[in-house]
Chain A
Amino acid sequence: MTESALNRILQPGAITPVYQPIFRVAGTTAVIEGMECLSRGPKGTNFESAAVLFEYVRLKREESLVDRACIAAAFRGASLFPTSLRLGINVHASTLGRDHGFIPFLQSTAAATGIALTRVVIEIVEHAPPWDGLSFQSTLQQLRELGMAIALDDIGLGQSNFKMLLDVRPQFLKLDSYFVGGCSTDPHRRAVVTALRTLARDFDAEIVAEGVENAADANALQALGIALMQGFHFAHPLGADAVRDLCPA
């Protein structure tokens, strides 16, 4: 009988963090404003793919355990990054709703790695309940009181709907690549992006466009008033060493 895959995933060092730069684009200038922390599972296994890793974790209903492991790895890797960089960490909505030890964990892990929580952006993923709505709201409030910003992932898709927008009141709305790819040539995609940008402004939030893969789409997004972008056009996800080379402290 093979070792449980979950046990392998939770072994120290099994999760490899990578970081995708988020740029603030103005005209022809693009400045790195933050990093989205991404995770790769154990090398040489099916879980090296983030998509397979997190689908497995959700099927096992162990989002909180793995979220914690990913965050710990991300913070360790980011401990020598410039303190001006925001750090976006992905957290399942169910973790915020069910893991009552999550805030203390976040505080202790950030302190141990020298990461100021005011730099952290909590990117809420997989918003489908069931989880305790009151507990979820309480956790969000505590995160805000600690100075963290909140982002809603996959805006425009699935469960990332208007109800979540009202319940969460995020500072950032992460626009899914589905709406970004081809927006330069598709007026309907631009219409959706425009509507979401207007919505974001009414919520005093900013849009972060994900999956920007070419200059044409980047220019189209700028023309629509979107300044924050990430994607292969700007940079692929990088290891911690590569980030430190790119952004010396």
Chain B
Amino acid sequence: MLSEATRNQILIVDDEELIVLAMRRYFEGLGYTVDSAHELEEAQALLANRRYNLVIVDLRLTGIGGVEGLQIVSDIQQRSANTRVILLSAYGTPEIERESYNRGADAFLHKPKSMMEIANVAVNLMEQR
């Protein structure tokens, strides 16, 4: 049974501990509740049991090149069309970026991006609800 959705629940999917820590501190400082997952399967297990307002995914974590790595976006949208999705990628091609939006991603950010830039996009997306 899914836990009750909270308006300000964020899931960060990244295996770089320092990045996760930085994001967590930043968003928690703004009053958001933050979960983090270091593996794709961990993220999927969380998504199966909890509802999130926003999911931030580093595409590198999918370990899959090309559009196949965007399956997580489809998975998120299937579970909850109201969940916003931000993808981070250092190697995104125009094709991947286009396909990510086709699958329901709300933002595709090319790394490197500062914490402030990511947070601005995230907060704007969540405030659109």
List B38-62 residues whose CB lies under 8 Å from chain A: 38-39, 41-42, 44-46, 48-49
Q: Is B118 an interface residue (CB 8 A)?
A: no
Give the nearest-CB partner of A59 in chain B: B41
Please tell me if the beta carbons of B49 and A5 are within 8 angstroms of each other in the complex: no
**CB–CB A46/B46 < 8 A:** yes
With a cutoff of 8 Å between Cβ atoms, the chain A residues found around residue B35 in the complex are: 46
| Smallest Cβ-Cβ distance to B14: which chain A residue | A2
* Distance between Cα atoms of A5 and B37 in the complex (Å): 9
In whole angstroms, what is the CA distance A177 to B44 when docked?
24
CA–CA, A52 and B37, complex, Å: 11
Contact between chains at A56 and B41 (CB < 8 Å): yes
Q: Determine if B38 and A2 form an interchain contact, defined as CB atoms under 8 angstroms apart.
A: yes
Chain B interface size, as a band, is 10 to 19
Cβ-neighbour of A52 out of B15, B16, B39, B46 (below 8 A)? B46
Q: Which residue of chain A has the shortest Cβ distance to B20 in the bound complex? A: A2
| Least Cβ–Cβ distance between A198 and chain B, in angstroms | 28
On whether A56 and B45 interact (CB within 8 A), knowing A5-B39, A46-B35, the answer reads yes
Tell me if A4 is interfacial: C-beta within 8 Å of chain B. yes
Contact B42 A56 (CB under 8 A): yes
A51 within 8 A of B: yes
Contact status B49-A52, CB under 8 Å? yes
Q: Give bound CA distance, A49 to B42, whole Å.
A: 12
Q: Which residues on B sit within 8 Å (CB–CB) of A56?
A: 41-42, 44-45
Partner of B49, one of A1, A51, A59, A60: A51
B123 to chain A, nearest CB (A): 24
CB under 8 Å from chain B, chain A span 33-84: 46, 49, 51-53, 55-56, 59-60
Contacts of B46 in A (CB 8 A): 46, 52
Query: Hey, which chain A residues are within 8 Å of B28, CB to CB?
Result: none
B residues touching A (Cβ–Cβ < 8 Å)?
A: 15-17, 35, 37-39, 41-42, 44-46, 48-49
A-B contact pairs, 24 of them (CB 8 A): A1-B15, A1-B16, A2-B15, A2-B38, A4-B39, A5-B38, A5-B41, A5-B42, A46-B35, A46-B42, A46-B45, A46-B46, A49-B49, A51-B48, A52-B42, A52-B48, A55-B44, A55-B45, A55-B48, A55-B49, A56-B42, A56-B45, A59-B44, A60-B41
Interface residues in chain A, defined as those with a beta carbon under 8 Å from any beta carbon in chain B = 1-2, 4-5, 46, 49, 51-53, 55-56, 59-60
Given contacts A49-B49, A53-B45, 19 further A-B contacts (CB under 8 A): A1-B15, A2-B17, A2-B38, A4-B39, A5-B41, A5-B42, A46-B35, A46-B37, A46-B42, A51-B48, A51-B49, A55-B44, A55-B45, A55-B49, A56-B41, A56-B42, A56-B44, A56-B45, A59-B41
